[in-house]
Amino acid sequence: MREQEYNLKNLTKCPLCKAKYDNSQTFVLEEGSSRTIFHLTCSKCQSAVLAFITEGKQGVVSLGMATDLSVQEAREMFKKNPVNKEDVLEVYKYLNNK
Ligand SMILES: [Zn+2]
């Protein structure tokens, strides 16, 4: 839980409307020793964001990605297809090319 609290500091606001996230709207989809994935729903604009937090040699990297998936759908997705390093890289590239 310590890790989670730390990571969430990087993602306290909705990227779309800048409203502060409510902790009750935050769900951990996957938690690993060096990677945590959250599903966040904004209480103001209701937009959902997937957040990837990875801890590597360069430090902690957090990536946010808007998603249409509900918490339940996202959970299903990650259960079936565990996210690997390459997926996170893809998200990173996607965000950089925007
Ligand atoms: Zn919002």
In angstroms, the CA 94 to CA 24 distance is 28
What mean pLDDT comes out for the span 48-70? 86
Ligand 1 centroid–CA 16 distance in Å is 5
Strands of the chain, DSSP E: 26-31, 35-41, 48-56, 59-67
Provide the number of structural domains found in the chain.
Answer: 1
Q: What is the pLDDT of residue 87?
A: 73
Ligand 1 centroid–CA 23 distance in Å is 14
* 12 or 69, higher pLDDT: 69
Ligand 1 centroid–CA 57 distance in Å is 32
Ligand 1 centroid–CA 74 distance in Å is 18
Q: Give the residue numbers spanning the domain of 78.
A: 2-97
In angstroms, the CA 66 to CA 84 distance is 19
* 38 or 79, higher pLDDT: 38
What mean pLDDT comes out for the span 58-69? 85
What mean pLDDT comes out for the span 14-34? 85
What's the mean per-residue pLDDT of the chain?
A: 80
